[in-house]
Structure 1
Amino acid sequence: MRSGICPKCRSASVHFTRNGIRRGQAFGLTVRGAWSTAQSEDFVCTSCGYFEQYFTPGGTLQKIAEKWPLIRPANRSQPGDR
């Protein structure tokens, strides 16, 4: 999406804004477990409706890395995996 091409329909009808999607009452996104509000970059394809949202770099990403569980890739077995 950041390239201006939709990965779903291959259209060049991708639009961008910062903090364009509000969730909850605060400006930006409230991040559960990180006790902070994150700023975002929002991309929408107006041809098919596909949407991507990214946190802007900063302390919120580090807080998420510390507090949220990490999803391991399915093709890598970890000790204790079944």
Structure 2
Amino acid sequence: MNEVDGMRKGTCVKCGSEEVYTSKDSWNQHGGFESNTVPVALFSQAVLENYVCADCGYVESYVRDQKKREKIREKWAKACEDSKSA
């Protein structure tokens, strides 16, 4: 199992625990005031699907909406190798 699938498949990629829980079916996964989002553009937000390991506390978040991911490609700066060494 690779790291991308790990948390989504229920295994923590950091500690190997199977105590992974998700917000993907939570009441607040539709945007708005109480949801966990990232800003995409001035009046646009992408709702995050979160995976949390209840043993070590590691968290991963994913943007489920393909259109929002495309907008992020357009609006956000791409991470590069130079910024990783800072």
Q: TM-score when scaled to structure 2?
A: 0.67
Aligned length, in residue pairs = 73
1:54 aligns with 2:72: no
Give 5+ residue unaligned stretches, structure 1: 75-82
Q: CA deviation at 1:32?
A: 4.5
Give 5+ residue unaligned stretches, structure 2: 1-6
Q: Secondary structure at the match of 1:64?
A: helix
Q: Secondary structure at the match of 2:23?
A: strand
**What is the RMSD computed on CA atoms of the aligned residues?**
2.6
Which structure has the highest helix share of the two? 2
The equivalent position to 1:44 in structure 2, one of 40, 52, 58, is: 52
The equivalent position to 1:27 in structure 2, one of 32, 35, 39, is: 35
1:16 aligns with 2:25: no
Q: CA deviation at 1:17?
A: 1.5
Q: TM-score when scaled to structure 1?
A: 0.69
Query: Max radius of gyration: which structure?
Result: 1
Q: Percent identity?
A: 33
